A = this chain, B = another copy of it.
Protein backbone atom coordinates (compact mmCIF):
# COMPACT_ATOMS: atom_id res chain seq x y z
CA UNK A 1 0.00 0.00 0.00
CA UNK A 2 2.76 2.41 1.00
CA UNK A 3 4.70 1.57 -2.14
CA UNK A 4 1.64 2.34 -4.25
CA UNK A 5 1.50 5.89 -2.96
CA UNK A 6 5.19 6.40 -3.34
CA UNK A 7 5.17 5.12 -6.91
CA UNK A 8 2.14 7.17 -7.89
CA UNK A 9 3.69 10.35 -6.56
CA UNK A 10 4.87 12.63 -9.33
CA UNK A 11 6.45 16.02 -9.67
CA UNK A 12 3.03 17.60 -10.25
CA UNK A 13 1.26 15.22 -7.93
CA UNK A 14 2.63 15.13 -4.39
CA UNK A 15 0.62 12.64 -2.34
CA UNK A 16 0.57 14.10 1.16
CA UNK A 17 -2.48 15.08 3.17
CA UNK A 18 -2.67 17.85 5.74
CA UNK A 19 -4.78 19.76 8.19
CA UNK A 20 -4.98 23.49 8.60
CA UNK A 21 -6.03 24.12 12.20
CA UNK A 22 -7.00 27.44 13.74
CA UNK A 23 -6.57 28.13 17.44
CA UNK A 24 -7.19 30.85 19.99
CA UNK A 25 -4.26 30.96 22.42
CA UNK A 26 -4.90 31.18 26.18
CA UNK A 27 -5.82 34.66 27.47
CA UNK A 28 -2.49 35.01 29.27
CA UNK A 29 -0.43 34.29 26.12
CA UNK A 30 2.31 36.88 25.64
CA UNK A 31 4.12 37.89 22.45
CA UNK A 32 6.61 35.04 22.94
CA UNK A 33 3.85 32.43 23.20
CA UNK A 34 4.35 30.85 19.78
CA UNK A 35 8.13 30.90 20.06
CA UNK A 36 7.89 29.03 23.38
CA UNK A 37 5.28 26.67 21.97
CA UNK A 38 7.63 25.78 19.10
CA UNK A 39 10.47 25.24 21.58
CA UNK A 40 8.24 22.96 23.66
CA UNK A 41 7.22 20.97 20.59
CA UNK A 42 10.86 20.64 19.53
CA UNK A 43 11.76 19.33 22.98
CA UNK A 44 9.96 16.12 21.98
CA UNK A 45 12.93 15.23 19.82
CA UNK A 46 12.71 11.43 19.95
CA UNK A 47 9.49 10.49 18.18
CA UNK A 48 7.83 7.10 18.24
CA UNK A 49 6.89 5.05 15.16
CA UNK A 50 5.87 5.88 12.49
CA UNK A 51 7.17 9.41 13.08
CA UNK A 52 10.80 8.32 13.43
CA UNK A 53 10.77 6.17 10.32
CA UNK A 54 12.10 7.09 6.95
CA UNK A 55 12.03 5.37 3.63
CA UNK A 56 14.92 3.28 2.47
CA UNK A 57 15.16 1.72 -0.96
CA UNK A 58 16.69 -1.72 -1.18
CA UNK A 59 16.74 -3.91 -4.26
CA UNK A 60 14.06 -1.80 -5.87
CA UNK A 61 11.56 -1.88 -3.01
CA UNK A 62 10.89 0.65 -0.25
CA UNK A 63 11.18 -0.15 3.44
CA UNK A 64 10.48 1.91 6.52
CA UNK A 65 13.55 2.10 8.74
CA UNK A 66 14.21 4.00 11.94
CA UNK A 67 16.10 7.22 11.22
CA UNK A 68 19.25 7.17 13.37
CA UNK A 69 19.83 10.89 12.79
CA UNK A 70 16.30 12.16 13.50
CA UNK A 71 16.37 15.96 13.36
CA UNK A 72 13.37 17.65 14.98
CA UNK A 73 14.20 21.02 13.34
CA UNK A 74 13.37 19.46 9.98
CA UNK A 75 9.85 18.62 11.21
CA UNK A 76 8.71 21.45 13.47
CA UNK A 77 8.78 24.78 11.64
CA UNK A 78 7.97 28.23 12.99
CA UNK A 79 6.37 30.62 10.49
CA UNK A 80 4.76 34.03 10.56
CA UNK A 81 2.09 35.51 8.32
CA UNK A 82 2.84 38.83 6.68
CA UNK A 83 0.61 41.79 7.49
CA UNK A 84 -2.32 42.16 7.58
CA UNK A 85 -2.49 38.48 8.58
CA UNK A 86 -5.96 37.80 7.23
CA UNK A 87 -7.30 34.32 6.49
CA UNK A 88 -6.65 35.21 2.86
CA UNK A 89 -2.89 35.42 3.47
CA UNK A 90 -3.04 32.21 5.49
CA UNK A 91 -4.77 30.31 2.67
CA UNK A 92 -2.22 31.62 0.15
CA UNK A 93 0.56 30.34 2.41
CA UNK A 94 -1.09 26.93 2.82
CA UNK A 95 -1.56 26.73 -0.96
CA UNK A 96 2.19 27.16 -1.44
CA UNK A 97 3.18 24.79 1.36
CA UNK A 98 0.85 22.09 0.07
CA UNK A 99 2.52 22.37 -3.36
CA UNK A 100 5.92 21.16 -2.17
CA UNK A 101 6.99 17.59 -1.61
CA UNK A 102 8.15 16.08 1.63
CA UNK A 103 11.78 14.97 1.35
CA UNK A 104 11.97 11.17 1.23
CA UNK A 105 15.36 11.22 2.96
CA UNK A 106 13.52 12.12 6.19
CA UNK A 107 10.45 10.83 8.04
CA UNK A 108 7.52 11.98 5.92
CA UNK A 109 5.78 14.52 8.15
CA UNK A 110 6.09 18.15 9.16
CA UNK A 111 4.18 20.64 11.27
CA UNK A 112 4.28 24.40 10.72
CA UNK A 113 3.20 26.62 13.61
CA UNK A 114 2.08 29.97 12.24
CA UNK A 115 1.81 33.25 14.13
CA UNK A 116 0.78 36.69 12.93
CA UNK A 117 -2.93 36.12 12.28
CA UNK A 118 -5.30 39.00 12.83
CA UNK A 119 -6.78 38.99 16.32
CA UNK A 120 -3.85 37.09 17.83
CA UNK A 121 -4.98 33.66 16.66
CA UNK A 122 -2.49 31.00 15.63
CA UNK A 123 -2.61 28.25 13.03
CA UNK A 124 -0.92 24.95 12.37
CA UNK A 125 -0.47 23.25 9.04
CA UNK A 126 0.40 19.58 9.66
CA UNK A 127 1.41 17.50 6.73
CA UNK A 128 1.93 13.76 6.46
CA UNK A 129 2.58 11.57 3.47
CA UNK A 130 -0.37 9.49 2.36
CA UNK A 131 1.91 6.43 2.61
CA UNK A 132 2.21 7.09 6.37
CA UNK A 133 -1.38 7.98 7.23
CA UNK A 134 -4.55 8.74 5.33
CA UNK A 135 -7.09 11.39 6.22
CA UNK A 136 -8.98 9.44 8.85
CA UNK A 137 -5.91 7.89 10.48
CA UNK A 138 -4.36 11.36 10.50
CA UNK A 139 -7.48 12.82 12.07
CA UNK A 140 -7.48 10.20 14.83
CA UNK A 141 -3.83 10.78 15.58
CA UNK A 142 -4.39 14.51 15.74
CA UNK A 143 -7.36 14.17 18.08
CA UNK A 144 -5.29 11.97 20.40
CA UNK A 145 -2.93 14.91 20.92
CA UNK A 146 -5.81 17.17 22.02
CA UNK A 147 -7.78 17.45 25.23
CA UNK A 148 -11.23 18.56 26.33
CA UNK A 149 -9.52 20.45 29.13
CA UNK A 150 -7.67 23.67 28.29
CA UNK A 151 -5.29 23.02 31.17
CA UNK A 152 -4.08 19.63 29.87
CA UNK A 153 -0.91 19.76 27.82
CA UNK A 154 -0.83 16.45 25.95
CA UNK A 155 2.45 15.52 24.22
CA UNK A 156 2.46 16.18 20.47
CA UNK A 157 1.29 13.43 18.18
CA UNK A 158 4.78 12.15 17.32
CA UNK A 159 5.50 11.55 21.02
CA UNK A 160 2.33 9.55 21.70
CA UNK A 161 2.65 5.76 21.77
CA UNK A 162 0.75 3.99 19.00
CA UNK A 163 -2.48 2.32 20.12
CA UNK A 164 -1.21 -1.23 20.11
CA UNK A 165 1.19 -3.55 18.44
CA UNK A 166 -1.40 -4.98 16.12
CA UNK A 167 -2.49 -1.58 14.91
CA UNK A 168 0.59 0.55 14.44
CA UNK A 169 -0.32 4.20 14.24
CA UNK A 170 -0.19 5.49 10.75
CA UNK A 171 -1.13 2.34 8.92
CA UNK A 172 -4.11 2.78 6.72
CA UNK A 173 -7.30 1.64 8.37
CA UNK A 174 -9.92 3.94 7.02
CA UNK A 175 -11.73 5.62 4.13
CA UNK A 176 -10.43 5.91 0.71
CA UNK A 177 -10.01 9.39 -0.54
CA UNK A 178 -7.79 9.12 -3.50
CA UNK A 179 -7.98 7.19 -6.70
CA UNK A 180 -4.54 5.84 -6.06
CA UNK A 181 -5.53 4.13 -2.86
CA UNK A 182 -8.46 2.46 -4.54
CA UNK A 183 -6.21 0.76 -7.01
CA UNK A 184 -3.76 -0.52 -4.44
CA UNK A 185 -6.63 -1.98 -2.46
CA UNK A 186 -8.01 -3.73 -5.47
CA UNK A 187 -6.05 -6.90 -4.89
CA UNK A 188 -7.32 -7.40 -1.35
CA UNK A 189 -10.83 -7.97 -2.63
CA UNK A 190 -10.18 -11.29 -4.39
CA UNK A 191 -11.80 -13.38 -1.65
CA UNK A 192 -15.11 -11.72 -2.31
CA UNK A 193 -15.20 -12.42 -6.03
CA UNK A 194 -18.41 -14.53 -6.10
CA UNK A 195 -20.40 -11.88 -4.23
CA UNK A 196 -18.88 -9.16 -6.35
CA UNK A 197 -19.78 -11.07 -9.51
CA UNK A 198 -23.39 -11.35 -8.36
CA UNK A 199 -23.52 -7.62 -7.71
CA UNK A 200 -21.93 -6.75 -11.01
CA UNK A 201 -24.50 -8.88 -12.86
CA UNK A 202 -27.22 -6.98 -11.01
CA UNK A 203 -25.55 -3.71 -12.02
CA UNK A 204 -25.39 -4.81 -15.62
CA UNK A 205 -29.14 -5.51 -15.52
CA UNK A 206 -29.74 -2.06 -14.03
CA UNK A 207 -27.40 -0.44 -16.55
CA UNK A 208 -29.10 -2.15 -19.51
CA UNK A 209 -32.55 -1.43 -18.07
CA UNK A 210 -31.50 2.21 -17.59
CA UNK A 211 -32.42 2.15 -13.88
CA UNK A 212 -32.78 5.88 -13.10
CA UNK A 213 -30.85 5.75 -9.82
CA UNK A 214 -27.99 3.47 -10.84
CA UNK A 215 -24.67 5.28 -11.24
CA UNK A 216 -22.14 3.26 -13.21
CA UNK A 217 -18.43 3.82 -13.46
CA UNK A 218 -19.08 5.14 -16.96
CA UNK A 219 -21.63 7.82 -16.00
CA UNK A 220 -19.29 10.71 -15.26
CA UNK A 221 -19.25 13.34 -18.02
CA UNK A 222 -16.01 14.97 -19.20
CA UNK A 223 -15.45 18.24 -17.33
CA UNK A 224 -12.80 20.82 -16.60
CA UNK A 225 -12.36 19.16 -13.21
CA UNK A 226 -10.81 16.21 -15.01
CA UNK A 227 -7.66 17.55 -16.61
CA UNK A 228 -3.93 17.17 -16.22
CA UNK A 229 -2.82 19.16 -13.22
CA UNK A 230 0.10 21.47 -12.51
CA UNK A 231 2.27 21.25 -9.40
CA UNK A 232 0.65 24.38 -7.87
CA UNK A 233 -2.34 24.35 -5.58
CA UNK A 234 -5.08 26.73 -4.51
CA UNK A 235 -6.55 26.07 -1.09
CA UNK A 236 -9.84 27.47 0.15
CA UNK A 237 -11.41 26.75 3.53
CA UNK A 238 -14.43 27.87 5.50
CA UNK A 239 -16.72 26.68 8.32
CA UNK A 240 -20.49 26.30 8.05
CA UNK A 241 -22.78 25.82 11.06
CA UNK A 242 -23.47 22.12 11.45
CA UNK A 243 -26.74 22.99 13.24
CA UNK A 244 -28.07 24.74 10.12
CA UNK A 245 -27.27 21.71 7.98
CA UNK A 246 -28.83 19.36 10.53
CA UNK A 247 -32.01 21.43 10.78
CA UNK A 248 -32.42 21.57 7.04
CA UNK A 249 -31.88 17.81 6.83
CA UNK A 250 -34.47 17.14 9.52
CA UNK A 251 -37.06 19.55 8.10
CA UNK A 252 -36.70 18.26 4.53
CA UNK A 253 -36.24 14.58 5.38
CA UNK A 254 -32.70 14.18 4.12
CA UNK A 255 -29.53 13.01 5.84
CA UNK A 256 -26.86 15.53 6.82
CA UNK A 257 -24.68 14.04 4.12
CA UNK A 258 -27.42 14.54 1.49
CA UNK A 259 -27.45 18.23 2.39
CA UNK A 260 -23.64 18.40 2.24
CA UNK A 261 -23.74 16.85 -1.25
CA UNK A 262 -26.56 19.24 -2.17
CA UNK A 263 -24.43 22.21 -1.10
CA UNK A 264 -21.50 20.93 -3.17
CA UNK A 265 -23.80 20.33 -6.12
CA UNK A 266 -25.15 23.90 -6.10
CA UNK A 267 -21.66 25.34 -5.71
CA UNK A 268 -20.14 23.25 -8.50
CA UNK A 269 -23.09 24.00 -10.80
CA UNK A 270 -22.78 27.75 -10.31
CA UNK A 271 -18.97 27.68 -10.60
CA UNK A 272 -19.06 25.70 -13.83
CA UNK A 273 -21.95 27.75 -15.26
CA UNK A 274 -19.92 30.93 -14.76
CA UNK A 275 -17.02 29.38 -16.63
CA UNK A 276 -19.44 28.18 -19.31
CA UNK A 277 -18.25 24.67 -18.56
CA UNK A 278 -21.23 22.90 -16.99
CA UNK A 279 -21.60 19.41 -18.50
CA UNK A 280 -25.07 18.50 -19.77
CA UNK A 281 -24.91 15.27 -17.81
CA UNK A 282 -24.75 15.44 -13.99
CA UNK A 283 -21.35 15.39 -12.26
CA UNK A 284 -20.58 12.18 -10.38
CA UNK A 285 -18.88 12.30 -6.97
CA UNK A 286 -17.04 9.49 -5.28
CA UNK A 287 -18.11 9.51 -1.62
CA UNK A 288 -16.11 7.37 0.82
CA UNK A 289 -18.14 5.81 3.63
CA UNK A 290 -17.44 3.67 6.63
CA UNK A 291 -18.77 0.11 6.44
CA UNK A 292 -17.95 -0.65 10.05
CA UNK A 293 -20.81 -2.60 11.64
CA UNK A 294 -19.10 -3.37 14.93
CA UNK A 295 -16.97 -1.51 17.44
CA UNK A 296 -13.60 -2.75 16.20
CA UNK A 297 -11.08 -0.26 15.16
CA UNK A 298 -8.90 -2.05 12.67
CA UNK A 299 -9.01 -3.48 9.17
CA UNK A 300 -10.08 -1.98 5.90
CA UNK A 301 -13.74 -1.62 6.74
CA UNK A 302 -14.44 0.96 4.16
CA UNK A 303 -16.24 1.41 0.91
CA UNK A 304 -17.48 4.26 -1.24
CA UNK A 305 -20.33 4.96 -3.55
CA UNK A 306 -20.83 7.08 -6.61
CA UNK A 307 -23.34 9.89 -6.11
CA UNK A 308 -25.20 11.58 -8.93
CA UNK A 309 -24.88 15.26 -7.98
CA UNK A 310 -27.75 16.37 -10.24
CA UNK A 311 -25.73 19.39 -11.37
CA UNK A 312 -27.73 19.52 -14.62
CA UNK A 313 -30.90 20.41 -12.70
CA UNK A 314 -31.75 24.05 -11.99
CA UNK A 315 -34.47 23.28 -9.46
CA UNK A 316 -33.05 22.80 -5.93
CA UNK A 317 -35.64 20.23 -4.88
CA UNK A 318 -35.10 18.14 -7.99
CA UNK A 319 -31.34 18.35 -7.44
CA UNK A 320 -31.57 17.19 -3.81
CA UNK A 321 -33.97 14.44 -4.82
CA UNK A 322 -31.63 13.22 -7.53
CA UNK A 323 -28.74 13.07 -5.05
CA UNK A 324 -30.86 11.28 -2.44
CA UNK A 325 -32.14 8.72 -4.96
CA UNK A 326 -28.68 7.73 -6.12
CA UNK A 327 -27.31 7.63 -2.57
CA UNK A 328 -30.25 5.59 -1.28
CA UNK A 329 -29.98 3.20 -4.21
CA UNK A 330 -26.30 2.58 -3.39
CA UNK A 331 -27.16 2.08 0.27
CA UNK A 332 -29.88 -0.47 -0.61
CA UNK A 333 -27.48 -2.32 -2.85
CA UNK A 334 -24.79 -2.24 -0.17
CA UNK A 335 -27.19 -3.34 2.59
CA UNK A 336 -26.88 -7.02 1.72
CA UNK A 337 -23.16 -6.99 0.87
CA UNK A 338 -20.29 -7.87 3.15
CA UNK A 339 -17.81 -5.00 3.62
CA UNK A 340 -15.18 -6.65 1.40
CA UNK A 341 -17.83 -7.19 -1.27
CA UNK A 342 -18.77 -3.51 -1.12
CA UNK A 343 -15.19 -2.47 -1.74
CA UNK A 344 -14.58 -5.01 -4.49
CA UNK A 345 -17.87 -4.21 -6.14
CA UNK A 346 -17.20 -0.49 -6.09
CA UNK A 347 -13.74 -0.94 -7.52
CA UNK A 348 -14.93 -3.31 -10.25
CA UNK A 349 -17.73 -0.94 -11.17
CA UNK A 350 -15.29 1.88 -11.63
CA UNK A 351 -12.51 -0.31 -12.99
CA UNK A 352 -12.27 0.87 -16.57
CA UNK A 353 -12.51 4.56 -15.75
CA UNK A 354 -10.18 4.14 -12.81
CA UNK A 355 -7.47 2.42 -14.76
CA UNK A 356 -7.67 5.13 -17.37
CA UNK A 357 -7.21 7.75 -14.65
CA UNK A 358 -4.18 6.01 -13.15
CA UNK A 359 -2.45 4.96 -16.34
CA UNK A 360 -3.04 7.87 -18.67
CA UNK A 361 -5.88 10.16 -17.80
CA UNK A 362 -8.05 11.18 -20.71
CA UNK A 363 -10.42 13.94 -19.75
CA UNK A 364 -13.31 12.37 -21.62
CA UNK A 365 -13.29 9.09 -19.72
CA UNK A 366 -13.23 9.14 -15.94
CA UNK A 367 -14.87 6.95 -13.32
CA UNK A 368 -16.07 10.01 -11.37
CA UNK A 369 -15.56 13.76 -11.48
CA UNK A 370 -14.36 14.47 -7.97
CA UNK A 371 -14.11 13.08 -4.45
CA UNK A 372 -16.29 14.58 -1.73
CA UNK A 373 -15.25 13.22 1.64
CA UNK A 374 -16.79 13.90 5.04
CA UNK A 375 -14.37 12.94 7.80
CA UNK A 376 -15.74 12.56 11.35
CA UNK A 377 -14.04 15.03 13.67
CA UNK A 378 -14.29 15.79 17.40
CA UNK A 379 -17.74 15.84 18.98
CA UNK A 380 -16.81 18.37 21.66
CA UNK A 381 -14.72 21.50 22.01
CA UNK A 382 -11.05 20.51 22.10
CA UNK A 383 -7.79 22.20 23.12
CA UNK A 384 -4.25 21.68 21.86
CA UNK A 385 -1.26 22.86 23.87
CA UNK A 386 -3.65 25.04 25.86
CA UNK A 387 -5.14 26.66 22.75
CA UNK A 388 -8.85 26.45 21.82
CA UNK A 389 -9.48 24.63 18.54
CA UNK A 390 -11.49 26.97 16.26
CA UNK A 391 -11.24 25.09 12.98
CA UNK A 392 -9.84 21.87 11.56
CA UNK A 393 -9.75 22.11 7.78
CA UNK A 394 -8.60 19.10 5.74
CA UNK A 395 -6.11 19.69 2.92
CA UNK A 396 -6.32 16.61 0.74
CA UNK A 397 -4.48 15.45 -2.36
CA UNK A 398 -5.45 15.84 -6.01
CA UNK A 399 -4.17 13.91 -9.00
CA UNK A 400 -3.91 14.01 -12.75
CA UNK A 401 -7.47 13.86 -14.06
CA UNK A 402 -8.90 14.92 -10.70
CA UNK A 403 -8.14 18.62 -10.20
CA UNK A 404 -10.48 19.30 -7.25
CA UNK A 405 -11.06 17.58 -3.92
CA UNK A 406 -13.63 18.63 -1.33
CA UNK A 407 -13.00 17.21 2.11
CA UNK A 408 -14.71 18.37 5.27
CA UNK A 409 -14.45 17.62 8.95
CA UNK A 410 -17.66 17.41 10.98
CA UNK A 411 -16.79 19.03 14.29
CA UNK A 412 -19.17 19.33 17.21
CA UNK A 413 -20.58 22.65 16.04
CA UNK A 414 -19.44 23.10 12.46
CA UNK A 415 -18.54 21.64 9.14
CA UNK A 416 -14.98 22.69 8.31
CA UNK A 417 -14.67 22.53 4.52
CA UNK A 418 -11.27 22.34 2.82
CA UNK A 419 -11.14 22.65 -0.97
CA UNK A 420 -7.89 21.84 -2.70
CA UNK A 421 -7.48 22.39 -6.41
CA UNK A 422 -4.94 22.76 -9.15
CA UNK A 423 -4.19 26.47 -9.26
CA UNK A 424 -3.54 26.48 -12.96
CA UNK A 425 -6.44 24.30 -14.12
CA UNK A 426 -9.28 25.69 -12.01
CA UNK A 427 -9.47 29.46 -11.66
CA UNK A 428 -10.69 31.11 -8.45
CA UNK A 429 -11.90 28.03 -6.61
CA UNK A 430 -12.28 30.22 -3.53
CA UNK A 431 -15.58 31.34 -5.10
CA UNK A 432 -16.95 27.91 -4.22
CA UNK A 433 -16.90 28.95 -0.55
CA UNK A 434 -19.47 31.67 -1.18
CA UNK A 435 -21.52 29.34 -3.33
CA UNK A 436 -21.60 26.74 -0.55
CA UNK A 437 -23.15 29.39 1.72
CA UNK A 438 -25.62 30.42 -1.01
CA UNK A 439 -26.49 26.77 -1.45
CA UNK A 440 -27.29 26.37 2.21
CA UNK A 441 -29.50 29.46 2.11
CA UNK A 442 -31.29 28.09 -0.96
CA UNK A 443 -31.86 24.74 0.76
CA UNK A 444 -33.11 26.51 3.90
CA UNK A 445 -35.54 28.31 1.64
CA UNK A 446 -37.17 24.96 0.85
CA UNK A 447 -38.08 24.40 4.51
CA UNK A 448 -41.76 24.92 5.51
CA UNK A 449 -42.05 28.63 6.34
CA UNK A 450 -43.08 28.53 10.00
CA UNK A 451 -40.49 25.95 10.71
CA UNK A 452 -37.79 27.81 8.81
CA UNK A 453 -38.07 30.84 11.01
CA UNK A 454 -37.88 28.91 14.25
CA UNK A 455 -35.06 26.74 13.09
CA UNK A 456 -33.10 29.58 11.62
CA UNK A 457 -33.28 31.58 14.81
CA UNK A 458 -31.93 28.62 16.76
CA UNK A 459 -29.33 27.74 14.19
CA UNK A 460 -28.00 31.23 13.66
CA UNK A 461 -27.71 31.87 17.33
CA UNK A 462 -25.77 28.60 17.60
CA UNK A 463 -23.54 29.61 14.72
CA UNK A 464 -22.70 32.90 16.36
CA UNK A 465 -21.39 31.31 19.52
Contact = CB atoms under 8 A, between A and B. Distances in A.
Interface of A: 11-12, 31-32, 34-35, 69, 73-74, 77-84, 89, 92, 96, 99-101, 103-106, 115-116, 230-232, 423-424
A11 B12 CA distance: 11
Contact of A12 (B77, B92, B105): B105
A119 to B, nearest CB: 16
Given A11-B104, A99-B100, A103-B230, 11 more contacts: A12-B104, A34-B82, A74-B232, A77-B96, A78-B89, A83-B115, A103-B232, A103-B424, A104-B230, A105-B424, A106-B424
Nearest to A229: B105
A74 B423 contact: yes
Nearest to A89: B78
B230 A83 contact: no
Which of A103, A106, A423 has the most chain B CB atoms closer than 10 A to its own CB?
A: A103
B83 A82 contact: no
Given A80-B80, A423-B74, A103 B35 contact: no
B232 A83 contact: no
Contact of A231 (B77, B81, B96, B104): B104
Nearest to A84: B35
| Nearest 7 Cβ contacts at the A-B interface | A105-B230, A100-B100, A103-B231, A80-B82, A80-B80, A78-B82, A103-B232
Contacts of A116: 80, 82
Main secondary structure, interface of A, reads: loop
B31 A105 contact: no
A299 to B, nearest CB: 33
12 contacts: A11-B101, A11-B104, A12-B104, A35-B83, A73-B92, A79-B82, A80-B116, A82-B115, A101-B101, A103-B424, A104-B230, A105-B230
A92 B71 CA distance: 14
Contacts of A96: 77
Contacts of A11: 11, 101, 104
Contacts of A83: 31-32, 34-35, 80, 115
A101 B232 CA distance: 10
B105 A232 contact: yes
A243 to B, nearest CB: 36
A300 B465 CA distance: 68
A155 B384 CA distance: 46
A100 B84 CA distance: 26
A103 B84 CA distance: 27
Contacts of A231: 101, 103-105
Contacts of A82: 34-35, 78-80, 115-116
A232 B106 contact: yes
Contacts of A115: 82-83
A126 to B, nearest CB: 16
A8 to B, nearest CB: 14
Contacts of A89: 78
A96 B102 CA distance: 11
A327 B448 CA distance: 89
B80 A81 contact: yes
A119 B99 CA distance: 32
A414 to B, nearest CB: 29
A374 to B, nearest CB: 30
A101 to B, nearest CB: 7
Contacts of A34: 82-83
Contacts of A32: 83
Contacts of A74: 232, 423
A81 B104 CA distance: 26
A453 to B, nearest CB: 43
Contacts of A31: 83
A28 B294 CA distance: 68
A400 to B, nearest CB: 12
A231 B101 CA distance: 9
